[in-house]
Structure 1
């Protein structure tokens, strides 16, 4: 388990009964989490009346209830990185704080490479990894199919003073983009991806992680440079084990480039209980340099 323990502006205060209580800057939010199947030890006042509470609907989806007037969005920091936070209609806030453990790792790898690094961030969402890689000095290509998420990523980069950094923002289907990059002969020294469990492309193409991840890694392998630095895969798909992810990376990237592979869980420390909330898995392939 790798833990995101260096936050100042984010805190996982408590968990229980299917929900988590979090501090985002000075805003307290209560949101559901399917991993939290243990009981709540004590429902204190902040549990009963958080600033915002997302209620899941029995028919699917859900809605927010706010107990005080919140700004439309606000800003939190992780070291030099800054991000806009906004409660969305699908319970998320625009940032996955557990990913900070990966941001720190990739920033260290980029800074220590001692050479220019070109990074491709796929399924890039609001750009946490994009901002981290750019802050470390990399040239970044950010690709996501959702126009609104790409715009949010641009705003996060500007918040971090990176509006003039060499970042290319692409709103596109990631599979088609990778295939076009193959035809154009483009190459990258590092690839980051956070693929969904299930999805549909603009032409009705079906993505199912268990069936599609290995072929996609093979496609991505062909646009890695001759001297790649790392490949990072994140997954929130229930049931996919770190060992399976290790095997996929070994059979694809490792088979061609050697290097080393590290896979495991990522998580967040829970302040009140001292326990850990698991938040998905990671797979890191990296060169031996």
Structure 2
């Protein structure tokens, strides 16, 4: 398990009963998590003394119950990186803190490469990986289909004082973008992808990770440089084993580039219990 255990502005305080109690800076939130199938260690005031509690609806979706006054958004820091946090209608806050384990890894890879690195961040959301890669000195192309998420990512880059770094923000369907980059002959030294379990393209194309990920990974191979630095795949699809990502990278990256492949779960430490909370998985190929 790759554990993001060096946060100061984020903490999983406690877990149990299908929920997690977490601190984002000075703000405490209570949110559902399907992985948490164990009971709470203790039911105390901390679980009630929260700023916001997201209640899952039995019919799907849910809503926030705000118990204390909150700004529309606030800022948390990770190392020198800064991010805007905002509770959204679909329970998320705009950041997946477990990804800090990947940020640290890629920042080290980029800063130690000894050469200019061009990074492509696909399904790039609010730009955690984009900000991390730019801070380490990479040129980054950030692609996401959601205009609001791309704007949020731009704001995170500015918030971190990196607005002058060579970062291009593109609102587009990632599949069509990769196809155009193939035709243009553009190449990247590192590709990051965080594909959804399910989705639809602008033309109604159906994306299902189990059937779509491998052909998409193959298509990304054609836009890698002759000497790539890394390939990173994140997945939050339940029921998929990290070994699947190892196998896919072994079949695609290994024959052409050699290198090293690793995979596993992403996790966050739980303060009260000393346990680790599983939060998705990753597959890495590196030079």
Q: What's the TM-score once normalised by structure 2's chain length? A: 0.99
**Residue of structure 2 equivalent to 1:155:** 155
The 3-state SS of whatever aligns with 1:280 is: strand
**Residue of structure 2 equivalent to 1:8:** 8
Q: Deviations over 1:229-265 (max 9, x none)?
A: 0000000000110111100011112221111101011
Larger deviation: 6-15 or 36-45? 36-45
Alignment of 1:56-71 (within 5 A): 56-71=56-71
Q: How far does residue 2 in structure 1 lie from its aligned partner after superposition?
A: 0.8
Query: Partners in 2 of 1:215 and 1:253 — Cα distance?
Result: 13
Q: How far does residue 49 in structure 1 lie from its aligned partner after superposition?
A: 3.0
**Residue of structure 2 equivalent to 1:188:** 188
CA contact (8 A) 1:214 1:252 kept: no
Which consecutive aligned stretches of 4+ in structure 1 deviate over 6 angstroms post-superposition? none
Query: Partners in 2 of 1:188 and 1:150 — Cα distance?
Result: 20
Query: Partners in 2 of 1:254 and 1:204 — Cα distance?
Result: 33
Alignment of 1:68-87 (within 5 A): 68-87=68-87
Query: Partners in 1 of 2:154 and 2:47 — Cα distance?
Result: 34
Query: Partners in 2 of 1:57 and 1:46 — Cα distance?
Result: 23
The 3-state SS of whatever aligns with 2:251 is: helix
Give the gaps of 5 or more residues in structure 2: none
**Residue of structure 1 equivalent to 2:20:** 20
Query: Partners in 2 of 1:58 and 1:96 — Cα distance?
Result: 24
CA RMSD of aligned residues (A): 0.5
The 3-state SS of whatever aligns with 1:119 is: strand
Alignment of 1:40-59 (within 5 A): 40-59=40-59
Number of residue pairs aligned between Structure 1 and Structure 2: 287
Is 1:247 aligned to residue 247 of structure 2? yes
Q: Deviations over 1:127-176 (max 9, x none)?
A: 00000000000000000000000000000000000111100000000000
Q: Deviations over 1:56-108 (max 9, x none)?
A: 01111000011111000000000000000000000000000000000000000
